[in-house]
Copies of this chain bind each other. A is one copy, B any other.
């Protein structure tokens, strides 16, 4: 395989390579690179110039609609027409955008000619800290989010400060929850760094991104195809987080933050963690993540909670679900719990009215 990229390229099923650079990477203009990018980026002059080096370009409208399976056939018809003469080994998809663009373009790369090269250039913090790194790709089937997809790590990931610095503040707030979550998943040096840090917002993110990415790569590297439970640990705070995200329509970051609070309280209640350890963790989290996560929360009807738990993809058969508890940062346990026990705990924590 000829290396068409500026950095060493590992082909699929290797961990992605991370490069941090200030401006957009120059890439040799060859016919077999397809630039799939968020159309909104055309407003950004440096991007507008940069994209000219690619002869094959495919602008998309970012958002959940892009990931709709019903639109996929039309996208793929066009993309196949653009790439039909190319050899899969020489073909590369360069995905520039947020999570929806990366999930879509990653899925395209993973199935086009049974897999071509893939490079992510994330433009949002969510993509940079998560979707571009973990090697998942996905599409939505009707209302079923991420119901189809592949495990397909990128050959390379470029973290470009020029692009990320233009990400909206809301995005930064959500990303800080992701950083906190990874501090809890990894524990050790990353958690200590967060405890010591006096940085906030985007400064904290730039300071932590190499550590967060390394921690995440360590987890997915141990479980590339989501078969041994390790990768599931990245769902810390998500079981309950998804419920409140869906019911209250809160942002993903804020919802996961509440999910982490829920998990910490329940871990204490189950006797896995000391109250003092929980307070110590919350003190760090409360400084880092959006302030609304620290405030008193709303409640929801019991039946709405139950319905959402039963439909959760982590639900295992009738009436039980996997839940991740914590002893201390870096010490997580994935347990099968009864949905009714989770509901009782939600009641105890004032989530059920």
Contacts and interface: CB of A to CB of B under 8 A. Distances in A.
Interface string A292-322: 0000000000000000001101111100000
A83 B13 CA distance: 27
A330 interface: no
A311 to B, nearest CB: 7
Nearest to A69: B73
A52 to B, nearest CB: 23
Assign chain A's interface to a size class.
Answer: 35 or more
Contacts of A315: 85, 87
Contact of A80 (B115, B142, B150): B142
Interface in A67-123: 69-70, 72-73, 76-77, 80, 84-85, 87-90, 110-115
Q: Considering residues A73, A90, A226, which has the most beta carbons from chain B within 10 angstroms of its beta carbon?
A: A73
Contacts of A147: 80, 84, 112-113
A241 B11 CA distance: 30
A111 B150 contact: yes
B70 A227 contact: no
A251 interface: no
A148 B111 contact: yes
Contacts of A149: 111, 113-114
A138 interface: yes
A144 interface: yes
B113 A150 contact: no
Contacts of A227: 1, 11-12, 89
Contact of A311 (B85, B90, B142): B85
A90 B149 CA distance: 17
Contacts of A69: 72-73, 76-77
B150 A150 contact: yes
A216 to B, nearest CB: 17
B148 A113 contact: yes
A114 B153 CA distance: 13
B72 A73 contact: yes
Given A73-B69, A73-B70, A114 B150 contact: yes
Given A1-B227, A148-B111, A150-B110, A141 B76 contact: yes
A33 to B, nearest CB: 14
Contacts of A113: 147-149, 313
A115 B147 CA distance: 10
Nearest to A316: B87
Nearest to A70: B73
Contacts of A150: 110-111, 114-115, 150
Contacts of A76: 69, 141, 148
Interface of A: 1, 11-13, 69-70, 72-73, 76-77, 80, 84-85, 87-90, 110-115, 136, 138, 141-142, 144, 147-151, 225-227, 310-311, 313-317
